[in-house]
């Protein structure tokens, strides 16, 4: 943001000197946010109108901040190429022609050098001429170009690394971009064209970073280092760590890196700072996700102990799903061969298996032994077929089918009132007449409240085992 504040001041001065910005002008900014925010702070004081044309990936936090500053917002598709009619840049140019006294401030085509030269001098002075790597995120290319040229003039051996998201084509414009590949969630980094202000010759190496690496690294910086940085900063630090891990350890010289962090966590309260959003979008690092699940489980157990509840009673005085003491679920991937699922169900004596996505571990469906056996016997299925071809997809809910979410703290006594109206039960148990559930359903999949993970699988045998344990406790 410091860079944007310096850039906005210099941009204003340059435009005012050239008479491009006059009293009451409309400033149109094709931007993901930071420059728009900085310009809005100054424009309001000078009586200018600001219109920001932003991509769809821009967070609502940033949109709300821009609106609070009086900025008018227009959205553009993430995948729109610069020359496309619906791109932020084309929309901005059209608006400028239609509105009186309007000017487009586009830092991808022109950017003032002075603010970046000041930053380069600060880096040089503080690093005391001892820098081996400059690592910087790239969107317009203004920052990395100016810093690279200025620092290389004083430190010839410095290596400059540009960082962009997977799907961006700035570093390698021979890559064919597709709408899907350009749907990255990292803001303030990457583009689907090569900005003219960027001098690619000033960059020695390009590193692409995934959304998950950027988000998880940003959260780790906030948690472990107390640095309230944003997603693009997480991406740049992730790239720096990757480079550091690949450096040779057989040297007496310890390379020194300068990493430019250009955003703040304040713009991402609904995304980066939201545990639920990160989990839902599979962007939280595995360690943190496991810790959250562990803490939820421990909190549940602690409250039970605090209330003095017996092991077979839930908060409402009834046994809960947790009391079934289910083992970890045996699952299979959608890409696994059908023969593997068939053999696994026969070996474990299972009638069905939950199907878990191989990469994000989400519960996506189930596969039935009876169905697989029937298809194999009539020749419609082959053992080499992927499980996904013959599984029941939970996302494809049929008409009249009703899914109920059952979590570890769902009371078993709740198992009946949904039963009469439910033709198919995906996620678990239901009220009063527990035995009737297993007359209609051979198994139940237990999930977390958001239905992300398969926590266990329950059958009538688990229920019988629980009833026996409870009776023994009462007898004692």
> How many whole angstroms separate alpha carbon 286 and alpha carbon 155?
39
- With residue 69 as reference, give the H or E element that holds it: none
Do the beta carbons of residue 390 and residue 381 sit within 8 Å? yes
**Global confidence as pTM:** 0.65
CB 143 within 8 A of CB 260: yes
SS3 340: helix
Q: What are residue 334's DSSP bridge partners?
A: none
SS3 347: helix
Domains of the chain from N-terminus onward: 2-104 (3.40.50.1100), 114-275 (3.40.50.1100), 321-471 (3.10.580.10)
CB-neighbour burial class of residue 330 (10 A; exposed 0-12, middle 13-18, buried 19+): middle
pLDDT in tens, the chain (476 residues): 345 555 555 556 666 666 577 788 898 988 766 777 777 887 777 888 989 998 888 888 888 888 998 899 998 887 777 888 888 889 999 999 999 989 888 877 776 677 788 889 999 999 888 899 999 999 989 889 999 999 999 999 999 999 999 989 999 866 655 545 567 899 889 988 898 889 999 999 999 999 999 999 999 999 899 999 999 999 999 999 999 998 877 677 888 999 999 888 988 998 999 887 887 787 887 777 777 766 665 665 565 555 555 554 544 445 677 777 777 788 899 999 999 999 998 988 787 888 988 766 778 888 888 889 888 988 889 999 999 999 988 766 555 455 566 777 776 654 433 323 332 333 333 333 444 455 455 567 777 766 667 787 777 667 667 767 666 654 54
Q: Which residue stretches of 128-230 are H helix?
A: 142-154, 211-220
Whole-angstrom Cα distance, residue 140 to residue 152?
Answer: 20
Q: In the chain, what's the furthest Cα-to-Cα distance?
A: 92
d(CA 270, CA 253): 43
Q: CA 215, CA 229: separation in Å to the nearest integer?
A: 10
């Amino acid at each position: 943001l410091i860079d944007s504040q310096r850039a906005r001041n210099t941009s204003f001065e340059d435009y005012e000197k050239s008479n491009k910005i006059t009293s009451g002008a409309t400033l149109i900014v094709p931007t993901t946010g930071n420059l728009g925010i900085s310009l809005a702070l100054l424009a309001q004081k000078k009586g200018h109108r600001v219109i920001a044309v932003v991509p769809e990936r821009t967070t609502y936090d940033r949109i709300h901040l821009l609106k609070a500053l009086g900025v008018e917002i227009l959205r553009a598709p993430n995948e729109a190429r610069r020359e496309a009619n619906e791109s932020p840049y084309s929309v901005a140019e059209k608006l400028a022609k239609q509105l009186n006294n309007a000017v487009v401030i586009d830092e991808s085509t022109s950017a003032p050098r002075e603010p970046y030269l000041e930053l380069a001098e600060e880096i040089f002075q503080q690093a005391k001429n001892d820098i081996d790597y400059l690592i910087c995120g790239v969107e317009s290319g203004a920052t990395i170009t100016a810093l690279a040229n200025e620092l290389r003039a004083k430190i010839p051996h410095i290596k400059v690394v540009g960082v962009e998201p997977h799907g961006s084509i700035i570093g390698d414009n021979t890559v064919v971009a597709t709408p899907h590949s350009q749907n990255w969630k990292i803001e303030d980094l990457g583009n689907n064209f090569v900005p003219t202000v960027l001098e690619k010759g000033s960059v020695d190496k390009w590193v692409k970073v995934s959304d998950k690496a950027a988000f998880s690294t940003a959260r780790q910086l906030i948690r472990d280092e107390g640095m309230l940085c944003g997603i693009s900063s997480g991406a740049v630090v992730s790239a720096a760590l990757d480079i550091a891990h690949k450096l040779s350890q057989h040297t007496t010289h310890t390379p020194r890196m300068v990493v430019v962090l250009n955003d703040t966590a304040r713009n991402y309260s609904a995304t980066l700072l939201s545990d639920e959003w990160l989990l839902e979008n599979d962007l939280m690092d595995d360690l943190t996700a496991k810790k959250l699940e562990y803490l939820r489980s421990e909190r549940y157990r602690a409250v039970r102990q605090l209330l003095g509840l017996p092991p077979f009673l839930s908060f409402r005085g009834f046994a809960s799903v947790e009391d079934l003491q289910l083992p970890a679920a045996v699952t299979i991937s959608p890409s696994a061969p059908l023969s593997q699922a068939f053999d696994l169900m026969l070996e474990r004596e299972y009638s069905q298996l939950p199907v878990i996505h191989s990469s994000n571990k989400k519960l996506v469906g189930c596969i039935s032994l009876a169905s697989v056996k029937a298809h194999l016997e009539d020749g419609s299925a082959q053992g080499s077929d992927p499980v996904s071809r013959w599984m029941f997809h939970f996302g494809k809910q049929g008409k009249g089918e009703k899914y109920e979410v059952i979590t570890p703290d769902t009371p078993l006594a709740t198992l009946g009132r949904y039963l009469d109206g439910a033709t198919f039960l995906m996620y678990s148990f239901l009220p009063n007449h527990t035995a009737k559930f297993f007359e209609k359903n051979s198994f139940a999949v237990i999930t977390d409240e958001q239905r992300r993970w398969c926590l266990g699988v329950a059958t009538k045998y688990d229920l019988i085992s629980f009833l026996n344990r409870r009776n023994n406790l009462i007898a004692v």
